[in-house]
Amino acid sequence: MFKNLFSTEKKPSTKWEELTQAGDLDQYDELSVDKPVVIFKHSTRCGVSSMAQSGLQREFERIADKVHFRYLDLIKNRPISNLIAERYHVRHESPQLIIIKNKKVLGHTSHSGVSVAFIESHLS
């Protein structure tokens, strides 16, 4: 049980697109005009982040068609996380969800607030 909980191995859902380049943020802003873009910032070294990831994966199907979901591995891509904080004026936290709609932050949460229910509460 603890081996899986604290694993440093990245295990995003196959339906989650990984954010690996800062230039992708421009594309995400454009996508957010169509439907919300959700960025999940995840630390593979953090137990709380791993639990949040598991919860999102368990209930992801409820929102799969309603959002563009992006996964950011903070260990591999911390500079991108810093850019997100600067660009969207949201303090860096981990784990963290940031919901972007029409190129602006619609909502954000971290730690125990990271859930599919939080995302659903921001969908209209």
- Per-residue pLDDT of 38-70, as tens digits, reads 999 999 999 999 999 999 999 999 999 999 999
- CATH number of the domain enclosing 22: 3.40.30.10
Flag whether the pTM goes above 0.85: yes
Cα 109 to Cα 23, 34, 89, 122, distances in angstroms: 23, 22, 13, 11
Question: Do residues 10 and 40 touch, judged by C-beta distance below 8 A?
Answer: no
What was the pLDDT predicted at 80?
97
Of residues 119, 87, 118, 124, the one with CA closest to residue 103: 87
Domain that holds residue 51: 2-120
Position 23 confidence tier, pLDDT thresholds 50, 70, 90? very high
Total domains in the chain come to: 1
